[in-house]
Each structure stands twice: as structure tokens, then as C-alpha cells.
């Protein structure tokens, strides 16, 4: 038997036919070996670190209740062991007195070794909470006494080992996490992340309270954090329950990532603010250009729908000023989300300004396209020797006057350009088929 096992079993044969001398001697030797193993196991339990911690701890909850029962069991174990040792000692002395054993001596010795010859007084025997109602005395065979000690020993060792396992695993891990929490809190303070001002600061306070509560509960009631393995017969079969610790560790990791993001903002905030000012400045210049172009379009283009142009993004400029104020006062936790939203909205504002400029200048683009098309056809007919054609010249001049006059009616001008194109196409077709006059005769 070791400090993590159970007492070695006995043959447990009921008292029956008397043993012969050799059988009695072998039984005494076996019982002596059992006695040594039992004593070694009980002393190991007595010196177990978990048992010493349980004796000195201010316990609560399920651990307090189970330790009260376990203390009674350990006391009872020693009482049983003393009775076992006394019975074994009496049997050895009886054997030593009788060098030659007659039949009656063997019967008496057999009764000592196999019969219910061990009496445990009621004052030193079980309490009602352990083995039922208290009795004045109990009688056991040596095998039954070993079986009873096995049961009590396994129960006691299971409780001691489980408590010691929790104390060995959780408090040290909680202390390490608490140290990491303190470092994170210092970093958060330098970044302006404080309770009541930033959600991460509130989370740090909650984690601090949880770790303090968790450690106190683990110290006073370790069995509340023990998960036994069902079906395991080994004492202390199971593992510490780390769910609350793991949850606190994950929460701290989330806070640490949030603080890292805030610190990143502190490092590159100036460059990001400069980029924001540049984007908003380009959006403002684009809108100014769009407003100027709209005036030009209204003056030069007739019968055209020209969209209105909005004013500069004053709301974004105000928020940009707020962001700069946050940076001056090192309010990084407020600056971080504001910069992210400003960057998205500033890009949207620049795209909107460019779209507005494109929409406003669309009529001018149409006019420029018509002018280019008109000049391209004129160059084409000139290459084919039709530059002096009177019909083409007349239609070109009409289209040109419309496109280069203000205000320009784009619909009418487009029709004039189409008429010139048609006339040019007809003239070119006639030139390829043969010379004709404009009257239609060869």
C-alpha cells in the first residue's frame, strides 16, 4: 500500500477448519506484511501536503463539510489500525508461547486469524455520519477490518488529493493572470483607457473583481472547482475546473487587443489626421470646381438640366477639429473610433464631390464631343477634295455656329452635326461612284 493506493487485501476466509501450523505461520507473515503496508500508507496520508493545508485553512462550502467528515474518517482509520495491530500482536504472542501446537491451540489461533476476534469499542468506533448509528462496540475479522480501512482510506485520500490538486493548479495561475492584469492596467492608464471613460477600462475593473473573488473561493472551497472523472476508481481521479479562470483570461486578452489598437492610434494619429485633411481639402476643391463649372454650363448651354452642387463638408471639418483636440489631450480611446469613421466618411465625401463635378460638366463634355466629331468629318471630306463643296460648307457653318455660340442648344446642335455627317457621307459615296453635279446629272 502506498500513499496513493489502498490497503492490500486479505484472503478473508471465514473461520472454519483449523489451520495447521504452516498455514498459521504463513497467515501471520502475510498479516505482518499487511500491517507494515497499512502503517506506511497512513503515515503518508498524515504527512500529505493537502491534508496539512486542509487542517490550517479557513474552509467553506462543500470543502468544509467534506473535510469535517474526512477528519472523522482519518481518526477512525487510526482506531481501526490500532485494533488491527493489537489483534496481530496478540496472535503473534500466542504463537510464540506455543512451540508445539496441539489441535486446540490451532483452533484458537485460527479463530484469532480468521474469526471475528477484533473488537472496536464504541467510543473509538464509527460516528453516525460515517457508518450509521453509533454502537457500543463492533466485531470484525482481520479481513473485514482491512476492507473497512480500505474504504475509509480511499474516501479520505480522494478528498485530500482533489483539494491539493486544485490548490496546486489554480491559485498560481490566478496570481500570474493577476500580474498580467496589473501590467495591462498600467498600459491602459497611459493610453487614457480608464473606468467610466472607456468600455475596456470597465472591463479591467470587472476582471480585477472576478480574479479576487475567484482566488478567495478557490482557497476556501477548492472542491467547488473539482471535476471528478466518472468511472475512475483511483483516488483523486478528475481535474480542476478552470472555466471561470479561462473566461477571465479570454476577457483580459480582448482588453489587451483593444488597448493595443488605442496605442497604435497614438503612434500614427498625426499621419492619419494629415491624410484626412488632405482628402477633405481635395473634396472641397472639387466641389468648388463643380460650382464654377455649373455657372459656366448655365451660361453656355441652353435647355439642359444641370444638377445643384452642395456646399463644403463643414460637419466633417468640425469632427476633424474634435479629433485634433482629442490628440492634443491624449484621449486616444476616443480618437480611435472617431478616426476610423472620419476616414470612411472623408473618402465617401471625395467620391461624392467627383461624381458631382462629372454630373455638372456632362453638358460641356457633350458639346466638346460634338465639336470634335464635326471637325473630324470636315478633315475627312477635305482629304477627299470636297472642302469647297457648297452644301457641305453650308451645313458645316450652321453646325459650327450652333456649337460655338452661347448659350448652345445641345439638342439642336446635335441635329445640325448629324445633318452635316449625312451630307458628308453622301458626298463621299458619290465621289467613289463617279463625278456628278449637285443637280443629279452626270
pLDDT, one tens digit per residue, over 216-228 is 999 999 999 998 8
Name the range with the highest mean pLDDT among 40-44, 173-177, 284-288.
Answer: 173-177
For residue range 192-217, what is the model confidence (pLDDT) as tens digits? 778 887 788 899 999 999 999 999 99
Q: Give the tens place of pLDDT for each residue, 128-184.
A: 445 555 566 677 778 888 888 888 898 899 999 999 999 999 999 999 999 999 999
Task: Tell me the range of 9-23, 32-46, 59-73, 392-406 where mean pLDDT is highest.
Answer: 59-73
% of residues, the chain, pLDDT over 70: 83
Least confident range of 130-144, 198-212, 284-298, 396-410: 130-144
Asked if residue 106 has pLDDT above 80, the reply is no
Of 188, 215, 217, give the one whose Cα is nearest residue 204: 188
pLDDT at 34: 84
Confidence of residue 101 (pLDDT cuts 50, 70, 90): low
86 grid coordinates: 493489537
Q: What is the mean pLDDT of residues 420-428?
A: 83
Averaged pLDDT for residues 53-72: 90
Q: What is the pLDDT of residue 244?
A: 94
Domain boundaries, the chain: 21-160, 165-265, 269-360, 364-433
What is d(CA 166, CA 220) in angstroms, rounded to the nearest whole number?
Answer: 11
pLDDT of the residue at 21: 66
Hey, which of 162-171, 364-373, 423-432 has the most confident mean pLDDT? 162-171
Give the range among 272-276, 350-354, 367-371 with minimum mean pLDDT. Answer: 367-371
Its sign, for the CA torsion 174, 180, 184, 185, is: positive
Kindly report the CA angle at 73 between 67 and 79, in degrees rounded to 5?
145
pTM given for the model: 0.57
Minimum mean pLDDT range among 62-66, 125-129, 401-405, 433-437 = 125-129
- pLDDT for the residue 8: 40
pLDDT > 90 in the chain, percent: 23
Neighbours of 342 (CB within 10 A): 22
Closest C-alpha among 413, 374, 416, 410 to residue 301:
410
Task: Give pLDDT, residue 25.
Answer: 73
Q: What is the pLDDT of residues 233-260, one digit of tens each?
A: 566 678 899 999 999 999 999 999 988 8
Amino acid at each position: 500500500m502506498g500513499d496513493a493506493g489502498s490497503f492490500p487485501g486479505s484472503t478473508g476466509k471465514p473461520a472454519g477448519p483449523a489451520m495447521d501450523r504452516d498455514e498459521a505461520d504463513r497467515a501471520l507473515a502475510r498479516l505482518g506484511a499487511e500491517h507494515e503496508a497499512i502503517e506506511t500508507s497512513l503515515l503518508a496520508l498524515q504527512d500529505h501536503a493537502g491534508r496539512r493545508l486542509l487542517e490550517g485553512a479557513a474552509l467553506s462550502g462543500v470543502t468544509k463539510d467534506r473535510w469535517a467528515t474526512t477528519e472523522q474518517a482519518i481518526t477512525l482509520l487510526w482506531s481501526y489500525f490500532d485494533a488491527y495491530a493489537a489483534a496481530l500482536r496478540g496472535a503473534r504472542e500466542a504463537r510464540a508461547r506455543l512451540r508445539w501446537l496441539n489441535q486446540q491451540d490451532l483452533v484458537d489461533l485460527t479463530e484469532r486469524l480468521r474469526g471475528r476476534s477484533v473488537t472496536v469499542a464504541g467510543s473509538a468506533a464509527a460516528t453516525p455520519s460515517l457508518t450509521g448509528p453509533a454502537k457500543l462496540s463492533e466485531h470484525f475479522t482481520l479481513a473485514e477490518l482491512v476492507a473497512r480501512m480500505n474504504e475509509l482510506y480511499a474516501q479520505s485520500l480522494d478528498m485530500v488529493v482533489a483539494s491539493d490538486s486544485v490548490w496546486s493548479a489554480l491559485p498560481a495561475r490566478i496570481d500570474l493572470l493577476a500580474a498580467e492584469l496589473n501590467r495591462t492596467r498600467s498600459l491602459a492608464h497611459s493610453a487614457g483607457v480608464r473606468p467610466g471613460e472607456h468600455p475596456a477600462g470597465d472591463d479591467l475593473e470587472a476582471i480585477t473583481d472576478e480574479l479576487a473573488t475567484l482566488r478567495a473561493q478557490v482557497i476556501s472551497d477548492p472542491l467547488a472547482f473539482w471535476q471528478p472523472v466518472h468511472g475512475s476508481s483511483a483516488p483523486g481521479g478528475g481535474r480542476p475546473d478552470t472555466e471561470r479562470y479561462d473566461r477571465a483570461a479570454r476577457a483580459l486578452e480582448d482588453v489587451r487587443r483593444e488597448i493595443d489598437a488605442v496605442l497604435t492610434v497614438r503612434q500614427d494619429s498625426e499621419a492619419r489626421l494629415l491624410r484626412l485633411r488632405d482628402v477633405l481639402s481635395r473634396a472641397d476643391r472639387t466641389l468648388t470646381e463643380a460650382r464654377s463649372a455649373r455657372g459656366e454650363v448655365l451660361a453656355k448651354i441652353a435647355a439642359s438640366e444641370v444638377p445643384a452642387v452642395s456646399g463644403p463638408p463643414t460637419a466633417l471639418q468640425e469632427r476633424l477639429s474634435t479629433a485634433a483636440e482629442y490628440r492634443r489631450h491624449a484621449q486616444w480611446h476616443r480618437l480611435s473610433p472617431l478616426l476610423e469613421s472620419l476616414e470612411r466618411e472623408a473618402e465617401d465625401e471625395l467620391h461624392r464631390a467627383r461624381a458631382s463635378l462629372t454630373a455638372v460638366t456632362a453638358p460641356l463634355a457633350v458639346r466638346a464631343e460634338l465639336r470634335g466629331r464635326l471637325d473630324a468629318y470636315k478633315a475627312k471630306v477635305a482629304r477627299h477634295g470636297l472642302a469647297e463643296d457648297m452644301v457641305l460648307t453650308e451645313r458645316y457653318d450652321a453646325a459650327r455656329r450652333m456649337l460655338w455660340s452661347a448659350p448652345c442648344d445641345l439638342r439642336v446642335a446635335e441635329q445640325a452635326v448629324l445633318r452635316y455627317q449625312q451630307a458628308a457621307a453622301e458626298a463621299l459615296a458619290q465621289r467613289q461612284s463617279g463625278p456628278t453635279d449637285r443637280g443629279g446629272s452626270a
